[in-house]
């Protein structure tokens, strides 16, 4: 009996040691949702290059949002997992617990704040209109120059609502993705679409027949700070997580943010559509 007791105690200690070792070596996952279809903020690529992160459903994700997500995950001491999710499914996925945060070029609008909480902004950018380089609106300088133009934007974004600021615009049905809008623009189905400047730079880098129109102050869209800002979304009431995310973002200075965006534009897939 004494011998059996010694053996049992030895086995118990061994199992306890193994359990402790495995717990310490495993990191908790930080599951981040994004479209992986909105270069230069996020995209899908097939190869593990340019420090891309594996997508849970296959392939690899790169882009500005991915770089921001990496830094947040490191600050949290967690393993970053990218969960590719359609734009309209991001907030439902967050609130159902399928993901822990949305880092997807999302603006903290008043409407979205009713459903989720937002971090401090991690990027800000002005709105532009992407057009055909040799098209009838390539020389536009003001919103008034787009009177009669067929203009659209992505579904369920504030981009679509600002189309109404264009006098005499021929507002088109909203589209699901930016690649869809690029195809529509190149085929002549639309005359232009609304985009943040980085997204427009990315689009014309991959499509030489496109251009984008920037507006001088007072000639473009009227927007609020929250409209042009981009923030991380978390489930409502996630105060501790939100504070940790804000602390991580505070450690990323403006020069680094600009360099990350420049790198994302340079590294984007040539044909994202």
Residues 6+ apart with CB under 8 A from 126: 196, 197, 214, 215, 220, 223, 228
Same CATH topology for 26-124+229-267 and 127-214: the answer is yes
Q: How far is CA 195 from CA 169, 178, 181, 186, in A?
A: 16, 9, 10, 16
Residues 6+ apart with CB under 8 A from 225: 124
- At residue 270 the predicted structure's pLDDT band, cuts being 50, 70 and 90, is low
Residue 242's pLDDT is 98
Q: Are 36 and 44 in contact (CB under 8 A)?
A: yes
pLDDT in tens, 185-220: 999 999 999 999 999 998 998 899 999 999 988 889
Tell me how many helices (H) and strands (E) the chain has. Answer: 10, 13
Helix, strand, coil shares of the chain, percent, nearest 5, are 40, 25, 35
pLDDT in tens, 113-123: 999 999 999 99
Residues in the chain: 273
Kindly state the tokens that stand for 250: 């505070």
Pick one of 3.40.50.1100, 3.40.190.10, 3.40.50.300, 3.30.413.10 as the CATH number of 26-124+229-267: 3.40.190.10
Q: How far is CA 6 from CA 3, 9, 10, 64, in A?
A: 5, 5, 6, 57
- What is the fold, at CATH topology level, of the domain defined by 127-214? D-Maltodextrin-Binding Protein; domain 2 (3.40.190)
Residue 125's pLDDT is 85
Residue 8's pLDDT is 52
Domain extents in the chain: 26-124+229-267, 127-214
Q: Give the strand pairing for 53-54 and 60-62.
A: antiparallel
pLDDT in tens, 3-40: 554 445 454 454 444 444 444 446 799 999 999 999 99
Residue 64's pLDDT is 97
pLDDT in tens, 68-88: 999 999 999 999 999 999 999
């Amino acid at each position: 009996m004494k011998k059996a007791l010694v053996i049992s105690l030895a086995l118990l200690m061994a199992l306890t040691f193994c359990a402790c070792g495995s717990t310490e070596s495993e990191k908790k996952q930080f599951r981040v949702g994004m479209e992986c279809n909105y270069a230069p903020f996020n995209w899908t690529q097939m190869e593990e290059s340019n420090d891309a992160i594996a997508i849970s459903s296959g392939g690899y994700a790169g882009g500005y949002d991915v770089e921001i997500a990496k830094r947040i995950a490191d600050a949290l001491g967690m393993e970053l997992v990218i969960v590719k999710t359609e734009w309209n499914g991001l907030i439902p996925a967050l609130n159902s617990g399928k993901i822990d945060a949305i880092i997807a070029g999302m603006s903290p609008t008043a409407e979205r704040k009713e459903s989720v909480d937002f971090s401090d902004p991690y990027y800000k950018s002005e709105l532009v209109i992407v057009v055909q380089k040799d098209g009838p609106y390539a020389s536009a300088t003001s919103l008034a120059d787009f009177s009669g133009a067929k203009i659209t934007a992505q579904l369920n974004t504030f981009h679509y609502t600002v189309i109404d600021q264009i006098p005499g615009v021929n507002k088109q049905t909203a589209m699901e993705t930016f690649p869809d809008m690029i195809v529509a623009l190149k085929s002549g189905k639309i005359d232009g679409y609304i985009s943040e400047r980085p997204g427009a730079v990315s689009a014309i880098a991959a499509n030489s027949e496109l251009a984008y129109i920037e507006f001088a102050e007072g000639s473009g869209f009227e927007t609020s700070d929250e409209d042009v800002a981009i923030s991380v979304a978390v489930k409502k009431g996630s105060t501790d997580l939100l504070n940790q995310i804000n602390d991580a973002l505070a450690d990323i200075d403006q020069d680094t943010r600009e360099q990350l965006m420049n790198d994302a534009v340079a590294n984007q897939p040539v044909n994202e559509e």
